[in-house]
Amino acid sequence: MSTTVENIQRQISENPILIYMKGSPQLPQCGFSAQTVQALMACGERFAFVNVLDNPDIRAELPKYASWPTFPQLWVEGELVGGCDIVVEMHNSGELEPLIKQAAERARQNEESQGE
C-alpha cells in the first residue's frame, strides 16, 4: 500500500497539468478554486484535478509536501506554480496560457513518442 506522499508524487508526475482544489472544475467548492479553474480553463487545455475535500489525507499532507499552506494548488510539469492569486495574476498578465500550452504540447509529444 502506498503512502499519501507517494500518491501525491505519483499524481504530480503523471499529470503535466494538475490542480488540487476544493470541489471539481464543474462545481468548485470555494471562490479561490473557482477563480483558479476559470483562469486554467481559459487556456483551453485539458488538465487533471484532485478534490481535496474528497481526499482528507491529501488535504492534510500536500501543504507539508509542497511547503504551500493553502488550496488550490496548480502544478505544471512537476513544479508548483502557486495558488489562486498567483494563477489569476499570471492569467491576467498573459503568462499562464503559454506555460499551460507548452506543458500540454510536451505531454502530447511524449505520448506520441511512447506510442511509436
Residues of the domain holding 61: 4-115
Task: List, for residues 13-66, the tens digit of each pLDDT value.
Answer: 999 999 999 999 999 999 999 999 999 999 999 999 999 999 999 999 999 999
CA dihedral 69, 74, 76, 82 (to 10 degrees): -50
Q: Is residue 84 part of an annotated ligand binding site?
A: yes
Q: Is residue 43 part of an annotated ligand binding site?
A: no
Q: What is the CATH number of the domain that holds 101?
A: 3.40.30.10
pTM for the model stands at: 0.94
Q: Is residue 30 part of an annotated ligand binding site?
A: yes
Domain tally for the chain?
1
Q: Is residue 101 part of an annotated ligand binding site?
A: no
